[in-house]
Structure 1
Amino acid sequence: MEKHTNPEVVIVGAGIGGSALATVLARAGIAVTLLEKSLVHIDHVRGEWLAPWGVAETERLGLYETLLAAGGHHLGRHIAYSDEVDPATAESQPLDLTAFEGAGFKPPLCMRHPVMCDLLNAEAIKSGAELIRGVTEVQVTPGLAPEVRFRHDGVERKFNPRIIIGADGRNSVVRSQAGIDQHRDPTHHLMAGMLVDGTTGWPADLQIFGTEARVNFLAFPQSSERVRLYICYGIDDKRRFAGADNQARFLDAFRLASVPGSEHLANGTPSGPCNSYGNEDTWTDVPYVPGVVLIGDAAGHNDPIIGQGLSISYRDVRIVRDLMLENRNWTPDLFRPYAEERRERMRRLRLTASTFSILSVEFGDHARARRLKVREARMSNNSPDLTPATFVGPEILPAEMFDETILDRLRAM
């Protein structure tokens, strides 16, 4: 076994959360080593839309200008199309995303996930962190003297850092080896996504969200030529985008009668895989044990229908960084405020995403009538609307708005 100088912090997972935390800790003079199983970051079809509250977190971390200089693309307008509303009516009620600047938030920012990972990997290394790629057989031992063993280039290696950070995603090895329980909601629907090039004609500042027939659709431009497209669909239709021709069928689904100009999306060229995944929320009540702390998806992820994944990760990074720099005695109690804030944040986002799922990914005449009722009620301020939580953050809205009975009331409509 090779022995090396122990870093103070070992971060398992060099995706966005892991490499962002490595960067900001290394900038503060902390010795950090990143362990990453992959040799190349690939398109996993998730995590490319950063909400205004998430953009604010990158500013607090000192990463925003780096993202912007590398091609981060701000959006300016949001239109909620749907087959129960005339397109002209939908277009007469756009949401001006630049208006959030009046409240101190920049508009949403989009960037391809592998590009953001590569950028933050480079930033971590430039800041003084060590990145080891191609690691296998990671074994984490929590405790007051934590240990991490792994293989790299056929050689077993071991570190005894002061703390281990699990940033290794939804199927976190660190979480399972640390014995941290994960809770999971039932899967309500499936979500497919694909990156599409050649979308000339589609406005580069316009994101859309809506429901038509048996799909819920979303589109987020990354430039004047590239858009990330998503479709949510029922679990009873699970093979909708299976098979060799799934990319063509996915694009055909964007020939939408309710969306003027949708042919510019449907006529685009696939620039990545078409993958589907479940929408279920997961969460951990306490994302730490002695010697180990989880961040990002490893600590639990939100239903992607509301696109909060990146923002969640960047806030995790900011809170954990602040706690670690404020007190260099990294005992479990230090991370209690992180656990408490995250638990309530994820509960509120879980409730918000559930309202979106009920309204937008249930189909048929009854569901269509319910969407129309809710739209009309919200126009007259007679129905609670949790949508702002997806833009400015769940903590901005009054706590009483996040009442679990809202789901029963929606289902009863």
Structure 2
Amino acid sequence: MSFYKLIIKHNVKRKKLVLIILFILLSIAFIGKSSKALESEIIYLQTDKELYYTDESIQLEVSWMLDYLEQENASFQIRFFDTLDNLIWNSSEYREKGTFEQNWTIKIEYLNLNFTNFSNTIYIKACVFNEGNEEYMTPIVLATKFITINKRNICCELSNFTDKLTLGKNLSLNARFYSEDTNLSLSGKDIIVTIISDHSKIYEHNYTLNSYGLISLNLSSMEDMVLGINYLVFNISNTFIYNRSLFSFEILVEKTHVYVDIIKYREKIGWSENLNIELFFYYLDDVVAPLINQTIKILIYDNSTMNHQIFLNTDSFGILKINLSTSFYEINYNNNKFYMDLIFNGSTFLKDKRVVLNFEILTSKLPTNYPFISLIIIISLIILSLLGLISYIYQYVKKKPKFKKISEISFKF
């Protein structure tokens, strides 16, 4: 009886061993089937370049291999993501088994791009999905390639532009706008033109670029600008293709310069000598234009102290004539130097002008009682002259030989 029990016990162990072996074999087979349930591979993923502009298209070429069991529901797809991992484009799903090649032409203008920093990086991902297996619900990324998409920059070119403008003149110029990368002219774009001075907007007008990317401006220095520094600003609003662009050009509006030529002037003079000065005041308006009938203020300084002020006008030829005696004003002749400050205070269109003339007196001035002393000197000179004349006559008469009268002459024979 014990022998049969031993045999039964041995058979039970064998059955357990067989069951364990069968379980292991079935597990290996299942794992093998699972590992062969989905096979995928990316052969190549390439674009025609890595840097694009928004008015271009992306040429994409992809080759892949896909294999899976019948009960699986796998697919292959290309997806585009931005830097925030937002899906902005995807291809169709490809479920066919085998090795395939596919080309796409994607227009960038159809992508939902957000240009926060004037450019955008796009991630191109080759993905595999398996909807029949929960483990593959999250896509498998076989390969990733990134490209950069930029907006185009705009250039501005001015012709007949000057950064200095005389008050009263007009500025006529042309502004051309074109792409920095292609040099192609912009056309049909709206341009806002403003002129700003001291943070105040003086001029604003909307323009539309013609087919050559040009606009023409005729700006008045009197109506559209102010005296001083003005900023001419061109503003092109943001578009999908072009970056928002601001172009600023500085224009200095100033009055016409006045010039002075010295015709007659002597720096060194005698104390009693008259000042004879002639100056030519003029400005340039394409030709030399005299400063006609304009008031010139004349200040005379002695040792930095102003002691005389007069006003004279230029004549019809722009000539200012000054004829003054140095004895006319109080000058400290001990310094032997003084200077004259001639000032033109300008006008609506003409700038101020100042000319300084220095003088040096060659001889010292006599005392203030000079007339009396002069009279004494003159009288003394006259008296001395008379005395000299009398003395001369006396000496002459004294030395003159004496002649006898005829009646006193006797002849001896």
Structure 2 length normalisation: TM-score? 0.17
> Bigger relative contact order, structure 1 or 2, given CA contacts below 8 A and separation 6+?
1
Q: Which structure dedicates a bigger proportion of its chain to helix?
A: 1
Structure 1 length normalisation: TM-score? 0.17
Q: Which structure dedicates a bigger proportion of its chain to strand?
A: 2
